[in-house]
A and B are shown apart, each in its own frame.
Chain A
Amino acid sequence: MTFIEGNNPLLPAETNTIITDPMIPNLFTIKKIFWETDDTFTIEIESHDKSSFNFKPGQFNMLYVFGMGESAISICSDPAKNKTILHTIHRVGNVTSKLSQLKKGDTIGVRGPFGSNWDVTKFYGKDVVIVVGGIGLAPLRPAIYSIFKERKKFNRIIILYGARTALDLLYRVELEHWSKTKNVEVLTTIDRGDSSWRGNIGVVTNLFNYIKLDAMNTYSMVCGPEIMMKFSIEELVKLGVEEKNIYLSLERNMKCAIGFCGHCQYTSKFICKDGPVFNYSQVKDIFNLYEV
């Protein structure tokens, strides 16, 4: 089964890079692998045929460790740099543990990119508040790169980032770099700290105490554990940000990634095909149902 580029009825219209059967992985070589924290690592991969890999911020790939299985992982590199791509991975299961043990030069299978994306062009001329928790910074990093590439088209950029401990903060060099950019505020906080930590301690929603929002001109992207997103969205709405201006990325157990298998079904939606990025108003009614 071969699909014509940009004409795959199973994928969102904006996805146009898959030209073969979306169930057959393409071969990629690991160019680099490095640890971000003690349980989170990043791999840089390149297609065997050295072809470029186009994707949009927020999309994900299915990474296949041969003989072990697949895992859905968000792409976290700059969409403008498409020769190699990066995935930051939390080691939590068999596949991700095996991925963490691979070495430079090893081969993995890659299916993708899949799913909807953060369309930052909708935020032109507006303030953007990015609220992230834990590894949620990884799926949002391509969107941040895209915003910084066209920095003048946006007003204030505010990044609120919460992690478990100081050692769990991702991309610290970039956070530092972003925070030094004009009209960009980066606030971080951790849930647990000791007296050696001089930064903020407390949940990510505490950081809203330190910012002033022009709520009517604010768009927001939220990504992290679902409960963290729930409280963050509550806070944004309380501060006056319109629900239709809030976007979030959801996570479920993706298997086929094309809306066939139903593993990631979210009432009438499939996270893999209709998401992972949703407008909050699209999912508001089901977002607070913990059974879903």
Chain B
Amino acid sequence: MHTEDISILLRNHSFLEDLKPEYIDTILSCASNTYFPDGTKIFSEGEEAKKFYLIRTGKVAIEINGREKGSIRILTLGPGQVLGWSWLVSPYKWHFDAYAIDDVRAVALDGECLRNKCEENHDLGYELIKRFSGILEARLKATRIQLLDVYTKEIK
């Protein structure tokens, strides 16, 4: 895929909505178009988190290995959402497993490449951190609601 096409994919993804065009141009060299057929393991717990993904189509399941409890599917992500933030925080290792549970099309962004761009351009770094903070806040809040187990009522 031509870089101008990837540029359009980046611009059209809700995570990068309204990002200044010069920032899109800056991160373009870190981006690649990617496809995971249904059933593909996208990454595994403990592996180096080299990339993150802007999901365009399809669905990804995040699973935690509960050891004796087996794998527990904790979240699904779909079009318009971002998969992975471990590339951002040292030691850059995945904490969970991720599987494509549909045919998934996404834009992959190279973590190291992007970290270097952010070091060179702190304004870009700040803009991306703000966006990732929003995602982290939403996921933390969602996890807390999940912990409440709101739909259970104890039998009196």
Contacts and interface: CB of A to CB of B under 8 A. Distances in A.
Q: Do A and B come from one complex?
A: yes
Contacts of B149: 164, 191
B151 A168 contact: yes
Nearest to B63: A195
Interface in A59-97: 90-94, 97
Contact of B151 (A97, A164, A202, A205): A164
A202 B146 contact: yes
B76 interface: yes
B80 A191 contact: no
A210 B80 contact: yes
B75 interface: yes
Given A97-B155, A193-B73, A206-B142, A201 B150 contact: no
A200 B146 contact: no
Interface residue tally on B, bucketed by range: 20 to 34
Contact of A202 (B71, B76, B153): B76
Contacts of A93: 155-156
Contacts of B153: 90, 92
Interface in B54-100: 59, 61, 63, 70-76, 78-81, 99
A171 to B, nearest CB: 15
A225 interface: yes
Nearest to B101: A198
B152 A201 contact: no
Contacts of A11: none
Given A202-B146, A203-B142, A191 B155 contact: no
B25 to A, nearest CB: 27
A92 B155 CA distance: 4
Contacts of A90: 153
B148 interface: yes
B76 A201 contact: yes
B130 interface: no
Given A195-B73, A210-B78, A201 B61 contact: yes
B8 interface: no
Given A134-B151, A194-B71, A198-B101, A92 B142 contact: no
A203 B151 contact: no
Interface residues of A, number: 36
B150 A134 contact: yes
Contacts of A164: 149, 151-152
A101 interface: no
B1 interface: no
A221 interface: no
Contacts of B150: 133-134, 191, 224-225, 227-228
B156 A209 contact: no
Nearest to A199: B76
B78 A209 contact: yes
Contacts of A39: 155
A241 interface: no
Interface in A113-165: 133-135, 162-164
Nearest to A205: B142
B76 A228 contact: no
A225 B74 CA distance: 21
B156 A92 contact: yes
Given A92-B153, A92-B156, A231 B141 contact: yes
Nearest to B155: A92
B70 to A, nearest CB: 8
14 contacts: A92-B153, A92-B156, A135-B151, A162-B151, A164-B152, A168-B151, A192-B72, A192-B146, A193-B73, A195-B99, A198-B59, A198-B101, A224-B151, A225-B150
Given A202-B146, A209-B78, 4 more contacts: A197-B73, A199-B76, A200-B78, A227-B145
Lowest 7 A-B CB distances belong to which pairs? A134-B151, A164-B151, A225-B150, A92-B153, A201-B76, A93-B156, A203-B145
Interface of A: 39, 90-94, 97, 133-135, 162-164, 168, 189, 191-195, 197-203, 205-206, 209-210, 224-225, 227-228, 231
Interface of B: 59, 61, 63, 70-76, 78-81, 99, 101-102, 141-142, 145-146, 148-156
